[in-house]
Structure 1
């Protein structure tokens, strides 16, 4: 279980969302309010590493991540204060699969794509080999860590993510469910993903046999209205998608439905059904 934010729009400094808000991503690393397990337990600590990926004028995104808790890394404060980006993803990790190490921290990068994930799959240790054997041979050497998330990412790339993101994610999810059901028909898959090529921002909210992870979107410049005056606002023409709101003003945030695929381009948010079966 993890927490993440994704932003696209007019360039802003990363600290506008990552560190400055009263319920920023860094605050959530110690005091998450909505990261519940299926049994109802609140996982308020997300201290198993962090990462940020951002797009500026360069084609390949920048990436900085570490296996330290986000609240413990002073470099994160400095970088977020000085880096301005038009699109960025940021993630704090609470590990369910894979060791606590830098290679397992999100976002993951492939060429001009970055990807991050909140959720889990049951029996990953049993099905990991079969899933990874489906990854294209030329992509397989790029696997660095041991998480389900990175496996999902490279499977999606194998199935054509750069050309048709929704179709690639659909094929990836169907393949994963088929392998999972061979092991346990009551197995669980939970995906709340954000990914981008720097041009468009995409998210997926999908769950199988479990309550879905939370996901919210806002295009309201006052989505952090509590922070008017000295605290940051987002520019007009910008979109934020988050695991949980950066404040407590619920009417400024719209919950994205389960089984939804969302595309954001030039501040137009399009949410459509993900799988029909």
Structure 2
């Protein structure tokens, strides 16, 4: 499986979260505590939206950098994280579930202004792959570059209306995967924590067919954390809108992290955050 992080808030230098915390994402690439594997060295990727979007009323297309080596030893990642500043970014460290270690299989995946990353797997994916691929809208199919179930899930969600209705599209994608698996006699096929963004909002999903999903946490409100830890300088600098969603906590700061409930999704947007139930759907797009 994998580990990932998604950030939304006041613009920060990426290394503030990727390298500096006690149990940063880079530390997790070697010493994950809550994943299936303790080492996640089969590639990495970061995707970020520019701190200055340029044109008002238009979100710039995100930048994506991916590599096939382990994140802990990549000097280019270290250099880039030291200078890139962003109000919204995602980062992923990969542990392959069977597909090749290659750049096109590293997360996040991008389509236009959309970013998508995933931890988990479709069980018995080679057996289901043909039926799943054939459901992708023909106009989207040329955009599939790699061979992972994660990228295919993204393009199924795009097919099922992601650009207009993110939660509904992901629910329809999950329902379609489960229905396809049922036809092939594959039980409990889907395991996923997913992050998706278009630059202004962030969605994070936690679901598995077995109702035993991989770990996922969201940060406590900055205002509450300041009250708990008045002497912490990082918290004093963070904006009230700052939110972080992670596969596992970045440290042991008491009261800082809350588990995303089973079979639910979180929505992070300016002025309003919420957690709602996630229910796979089978039906019209």
Under a length normalisation based on structure 2, what TM-score does the superposition of the two structures give?
0.89
Matched, 1:251 2:255: yes
Q: Is residue 48–residue 94 contact of structure 1 (8 Å, CA) maintained in 2?
A: yes
Residue 185 of structure 1, CA deviation = 4.4
RMSD of aligned Cα (Å): 2.2
Cα distance in 2, alignment partners of residues 12 and 77 from structure 1: 15
The aligned residue for residue 215 of structure 1 is 216
Residue 248 of structure 1, CA deviation = 1.6
The aligned residue for residue 39 of structure 1 is none
Residue 78 of structure 1, CA deviation = 0.9
- Secondary structure of 2:255's partner? helix
The aligned residue for residue 53 of structure 1 is 47
Cα distance in 1, alignment partners of residues 205 and 241 from structure 2: 22
Paired residues, number: 271
Query: Deviation per CA, 1:220-262, whole angstroms, max 9, x where unpaired?
Result: 445996x945899744320000000000235211111011021
Cα distance in 2, alignment partners of residues 243 and 186 from structure 1: 25
Matched, 1:263 2:267: yes
The aligned residue for residue 123 of structure 1 is 124
- Secondary structure of 1:195's partner? strand
Query: Deviation per CA, 1:138-174, whole angstroms, max 9, x where unpaired?
Result: 1101111110000000000011101100111111111
Q: Is residue 98–residue 145 contact of structure 1 (8 Å, CA) maintained in 2?
A: no
Query: Deviation per CA, 1:97-128, whole angstroms, max 9, x where unpaired?
Result: 31001000000000000000001111100111
Cα distance in 1, alignment partners of residues 215 and 103 from structure 2: 25
Q: Is residue 177–residue 189 contact of structure 2 (8 Å, CA) maintained in 1?
A: no
Gaps of 5+ in 1: 37-42
Gaps of 5+ in 2: 54-59
Cα distance in 1, alignment partners of residues 273 and 120 from structure 2: 23
The aligned residue for residue 40 of structure 1 is none
Tell me: CA distance 1:95–1:228, structure 2 relative to 1, closer, same or farther (3 Å). Answer: same
- Secondary structure of 1:150's partner? helix
